[in-house]
Each structure stands twice: as structure tokens, then as C-alpha cells.
Amino acid sequence: MLLVESGSRHLLEELIPGIYKSHAGVVIDLVTCYAGKPTALRDDARVYRVTDYGGAAGREKMLADLRPNNYDVLGLICSAEPIMTKWKWWLAWKLDEAKSFALNENGDYFWIDRGHSSILFHFVMFRLGMSGAGAPATIVRLLLLPLSAMGLVLFAAGVHLRRALSSQAPHGRP
């Protein structure tokens, strides 16, 4: 199993002991941007730091280091924190042979697959502010955005046109 620490460390500190308890003999490796490793992680775990894999060549090197491990499961922290977002989704895309799950800030998780698409849809809509009582206001703001932008463009054009016309007109009488 490969876990991507793309959120607060305490989430993995709570998750890892449960995984070890439920799945005896599982090997957990970690991709992280943090120094050190979670205390719950066993000593035999491999830790891959994204800081060691900079740029496009670094990403390909990380992929080359991860692929031989043939991970069956990929765990992604999705906790509304902008930590390693691009890395997390890039790894989910590139390690597509692994079954992926998302862990949220409440410690809940769900599998990322077609069978759980309704849960994934609600999760994404919640993150976008498109669920609950805030959804209508968000939709109205999205619909008004083009009108607001057009209004600002027309106002700026009017100001510049007036300025151009006033600089062309004669100023006063001789």
C-alpha cells in the first residue's frame, strides 16, 4: 500500500494503526513533503519525499522508483488543504493499477472508482461549495460572473472613450 501524505500528518497517524490492525502483514510506503515520517509507520516502510524529485525528470524518476513495488492500494488525503495536490492526482493517474481511496479531514474514506461515483460527485460538489445551503448563492455568483465582467469592460471602455474625446475637443474660446 502506498499512502500520499497530502494533508495534515495527524490524519495518517490515526489511519495507519487501523490498517496494520485490520490487514496483518501489509507493507505501507509513504509519499510525503514533510520531514521525518509518521510515528505509526513501521521501520521497514519506504518514504519517498517529493523534494527529492523536482521537475518533470524528477517525477519520472519517482514513478520509476514506485512502479516496481506493484502497489495494490493507493491512499490519498483529501482534506481541503492545498498540500501536494498536483502530486496526489498525478500519482493516482500514473499508478492506475492500484485501487485508490480518498481520506478526508474527518477520517472518513471512500474508494475512488465508478461504483462509488455518487459519493465522489457529492465530495467534489461539497469542496466546490455547490452543496447545502450555499449552493444557490454559488450558482448565482457563477451565472453573474460573465455579466459582471462585461459591465466592468464596458465601464472601462466608456471611461477611455470619454478621455479620448475630451482630449480631441477644443478647450475654451480665444
pLDDT for residue 174? 54
76-110: pLDDT as tens digits: 888 877 788 788 889 989 998 889 888 877 777 77
pLDDT of residue 161: 93
Asked if the model's pLDDT at residue 138 lies above 60, the reply is yes
Residues 74 and 99: their CA atoms lie apart, in Å, by 6
The model's pTM is: 0.66
- Just give the CATH number of 2-127: 3.40.50
pLDDT single digits (tens) 123-134 = 667 766 677 777
Nearest in space to 12 (alpha carbons), one of 24, 122, 33:
33
Cα end-to-end distance, the chain, whole Å: 88
pLDDT, tens digit, for every residue of 18-50?
889 988 889 999 999 888 888 989 988 999 999
Burial class (CB in 10 A: 0-12, 13-18, 19+), 89: middle
How many other CB atoms are there within 10 angstroms of residue 15's CB atom? 19
